A = this chain, B = another copy of it.
Amino acid sequence: MEKPYVLGIDMGGTNTKFGIVDARGNVINSSSIKTQKYTDIDEYCDVLCAEMMKLVDAIGGIDVVRGVGAGAPNGNYYTGNIENAPNLPWKGIVPFSELISKRMGVPCRITNDANAAAMGEMTYGVAKGMRNFIMITLGTGVGSGIVIDGKIVYGHDGFAGELGHTRIERGENARLCGCGQKGCIEAYASANGVARTAKEWLTKSDKPSDLRKLPLDEITSKDVFDAAMEGDEMAKEIFEYTGTLLGTMLADFIAFSAPEAIVLFGGLTKSGDILMQPIVRAMNENVMPLWKNKVKVLFSTLKDSDAAILGASALVWDVDARNAM
């Protein structure tokens, strides 16, 4: 292979991680910069590309690099732009792919972070060999990447796969989501959602719980998990509730694309069985008879720190395979 390496970028609201990936999915070397530090997009790209060039120089220069793949919030695969990302410093439409390829001298492909994770899982992870699966990222929010016939679903405008904003609750009492709608599954089954459930339950009930020892406003999903592991009843019920809502929602996703598996990824999956068990139970209780006990629910097997970089890099291998680059 003439150009055996790809650069992968995982852009988050706080940090931008990047690394060099080989065709086998090894992250050869990696580094990061602070996303929020650069309010000017050109300055951000200058610093990012200078830092990436340091990694590139260490492996023999840009001639051995096939391209750059980036996963970014609101990254649009069709246009190469980052469009109106609420948690990034740059407003409006940012022609990210163009800004990077111009500086690096190689093509750049982008997608959103959840799609990048799905690409990574399909190329290197637990979904290897699967043609139909749904990736659900359970982090601060809930993201998704949908794979049908071996391809990420981008839809008409490039923004398909916003399953975090399908509704698990309807009506006036449903929780307000960050997107402005009410009742989105993101408002319940994310790390923030778990913390929110804890705060609500602690406020509304008198039930004893070790969580009451913590300042109410500072309770995190990690605190709830730790308490549950210590046997705290309320904390265990919170995971039961969270998993039940997510599993119920998954039943609707299955009716859409009939996936072989649903792959869960992100911080909240570290909770393990206490989350997985109610998910699987609720999913099978709520899915149509033809899919009962037939759709796998799997945790991602990719190393958290590498997954998004790997996924982003897979964008380039994928395009390359189709001779489109």
Could you tell me which A residues sit within 8 Å of B by CB distance? 84, 131-132, 146, 148-149, 151, 153-163, 165-170, 179-181, 248, 251-253, 255-260, 286, 288-291, 294
Contact = CB atoms under 8 A, between A and B. Distances in A.
A160 B257 contact: yes
A248 B166 CA distance: 10
Task: Count the copies.
Answer: 2
A257 B153 CA distance: 7
B149 A151 contact: yes
B252 A157 contact: no
A289 B163 contact: no
Contacts of A155: 132, 148, 257-259
A284 B127 CA distance: 35
- The prevalent SS among residues of A at the interface is loop
A258 B74 CA distance: 14
A160 B259 CA distance: 8
A216 to B, nearest CB: 28
A170 to B, nearest CB: 7
B160 A288 contact: no
Given A148-B155, A155-B259, A258-B155, A289 B180 contact: yes
A156 B132 contact: yes
B84 A290 contact: yes
